[in-house]
A = this chain, B = another copy of it.
Amino acid sequence: MRPSGRNPDQLREITFTCGYTKHAEGSVLVEFGDTRVLCTASVDRSVPRFLKGKGEGWITAEYGMLPRSTHSRMGREASNGRQGGRTLEIQRLIGRSLRAAVDLKALGEHTLTIDCDVLQADGGTRTAAITGGFVALSLAVKTMMKRKQIKSNPLYGQVASISVGIFNGIPVLDLDYAEDSNAETDMNVVMNDAGAFIEVQGTAEGHAFRKDELDAMLILAGGGINQLMEKQRQVLEAYR
């Protein structure tokens, strides 16, 4: 039995509030249950040094947690004077995942920065950030097309992400904090809308996992990601 009473293959309640803030070219508040992440996409008319003059664009991401988004207060990274290893790892993951959905040549010499800031954490912040980050990115692309900054849509398709794990010996979908902190294995899966994998990151600090467990988790993930993509399409169609 899961602490939340959910079935093993059941997502938490998923909501996207598009246009949550007004300045960004694209913004969305994404909620996976009590996990709330504010994703904004900002357009800049320049590219990193290594792309100068190549006629290509870039997608990058930054991630942060508000100090009291968590059970006990974490030190503020700006005040510590450096981003921690976990933060850097997550923002590199978000950036790689979203770049997999974008034709960087069609983007022209623009950089899109996806900021994912966790207002409240209850497990799965990185998968919410990728899934919401894709929505913010899509909204910013719409804005750029309206403003004629780009001619064609640079998005190849959709990207979404979900966590899976082994909890009390059973593969489960979309772990919340109560599960995450006690799971034997934790895996984050990023997929595209062709059902192929962009990232698979499975970790076993406790119990090493077998191939059949891996397979079961990937099937759960595929099902969850289909539902997330359906939601993404709905909110993107509804919002203009």
Q: Which residues of A contact B (CB under 8 A)?
A: 21-24, 27, 34, 36, 38, 40, 42, 44, 62, 64, 66-73, 76-89, 91-92, 96, 99-100, 113, 115, 117, 119-121, 187, 191-192, 194-205, 208-211, 214, 218
Contacts and interface: CB of A to CB of B under 8 A. Distances in A.
Closest 7 CB pairs of A and B: A196-B208, A85-B88, A77-B78, A42-B73, A40-B68, A78-B78, A200-B202
Residue of A84, A194, A198 most packed against chain B (CB within 10 A): A198
8 contacts: A22-B34, A62-B76, A66-B117, A84-B88, A85-B88, A100-B204, A195-B210, A197-B210
B23 A120 contact: yes
Given A27-B68, A68-B115, A88-B88, 12 more contacts: A21-B119, A40-B66, A42-B67, A42-B72, A81-B81, A81-B82, A85-B88, A89-B89, A89-B92, A100-B204, A197-B208, A211-B218
